[in-house]
Amino acid sequence: MIPEFDKLSSSEIELMLKGPILACILIAGADDHVDNKEIRGSIESAKNKHKDTKGSPLAKFYLMVVEDFEDKLKVVLQSYPVDSAKRNKLITNELAGLNELLPKLDNNFASEYYKSLKDIALGTAESSGGLLGIKSVGEEEARVIDLPMVKDPSKY
């Protein structure tokens, strides 16, 4: 297991591992529809995060996250309501739970984790093309892309 998670319970570790998936689903479903392009974009974002974190405290974490990421994303997505408003509310509340966990972690790890969630959110939003075409962010995604429900741990 990841040494940074020693202070966390199993349910807290599960939320940490689920965080990137929740960020993907929240952004992909912000416009009421999760399409295959957004799922592929989410998978790419997670894989890129794994590549980007080599040598960082998040390397082991993203090694665990990217393993079977597509399957995990689909299973998690199916566990939420189809109605986007209900789904997004549940996901927002779940992501807000990270605010209790991040202060328990090493500050560097927590800050990198937070930044990585935001990077994955941006990658997912850009994958759908938004309003102006490739690499743009749609209006709905723009409202949640900064993951306002998760506080920046560097500001604790």
> What does the pLDDT read at residue 115?
92
pLDDT digits over 3-28, tens only?
889 999 999 999 999 999 999 999 88
Average pLDDT value for residue range 23-37: 83
Q: Which domain holds residue 127?
A: 11-147
Question: For residue 156, is it within any domain?
Answer: no
> What does the pLDDT read at residue 131?
47
pLDDT digits over 110-156, tens only?
999 999 999 888 888 877 655 445 555 666 777 788 899 999 998 87
pTM: 0.87
pLDDT digits over 63-78, tens only?
888 888 888 988 999 9
Task: Say if CB 144 and CB 30 are below 8 A apart.
Answer: yes
Question: For residue 4, is it within any domain?
Answer: no
Question: For residue 152, is it within any domain?
Answer: no
Tell me the pLDDT of the chain averaged across its residues. 85
Integer Cα distance of 28 and 98 in angstroms: 20
**Which residues, 6+ apart, have CB-to-CB distance to 82 below 8 Å?**
none
- 66 is written with which tokens? 């990217």
Number of domains the chain is built from: 1
Question: For residue 1, is it within any domain?
Answer: no
Question: For residue 155, is it within any domain?
Answer: no
